[in-house]
Amino acid sequence: MDTLLPKENYSMAAVIGLDSKKIEEVCTKISKEGKFVVPANYNCSIQTAISGEEVAIDEAIEKLKEIGAKKVVKLKTSGPFHTKKLEEAKKAYEKELENINFNKPEDIKVIRNLDGKIYNENDNIKEILAKHIISPVRFDKAIELMKKEQVDEYVEIGPRKSFNWFYKKRCKRS
């Protein structure tokens, strides 16, 4: 994603302590004014990250604080991650995925961050993975499903071991 970022000024912000529906409403209102800002990461019921044009992010930060967000933190990113603005990155990723063969998961359940559902045998894994680039992360739904499925062990694959800290510190209370 990083190599195919659009040239405009983009940013992200984490919104803590405000229902995601209210965050969506603020983003929709600002977008109707011709600016671009959308929810990008639904982390849990009390934290959602927004992504968009820097000017729209700045405006959203002020409005979200006004309507009761406990904390809004501008993130150190310069891209409109998990939004339609990364369509070119999605296409490039689709091209790379053509060279990879995936086996269907057997004996384990794998949850899609796209919608918090378990992959099934009919899913087009490559299509779903590519959609992750331009779609909001629905980590909140993945957590809900894990609770429902009574999952007691989590494996995070990524550059940092932040899941356990994040979940215990920010989401477990919700």
Q: Per-block average pLDDT, block size 10, for the chain (174 residues)?
A: 82 96 98 97 93 97 98 92 95 94 81 91 91 95 92 68 47 50
Question: 101 in a domain, yes or no?
Answer: yes
Residues pairing with 15 in the sheet: 48, 72
67: nearest Cα among 12, 10, 31, 24: 24
**What pLDDT is recorded for position 156?**
65
Residues 49 and 106 in one domain: no
Cα 5 from Cα 79, distance rounded (Å):
6
pLDDT at 6: 84
pLDDT of residue 43: 93
Question: What pLDDT does residue 159 have?
Answer: 57
Number of separate domains in the chain: 2
Domain final residue, candidates 69, 84, 99: 84
3-state secondary structure of 82: coil
Question: In the prediction, which pLDDT does 1 show?
Answer: 65
pLDDT for res 48: 97
Instruction: Give the closest residue to 67 by CA, choosing from 124, 4, 18, 128.
Output: 18
Q: Which two tokens stand for residue 80?
A: 């409109």
Q: Find the domain containing 91 and state its range.
A: 85-154
- Tokens representing 94? 């689709």
Q: What is the CATH number of the domain that holds 16?
A: 3.30.70.250
pLDDT of residue 160: 53
- Does any domain span residue 110? yes
CA separation for the pair 144, 123 (Å, rounded): 21
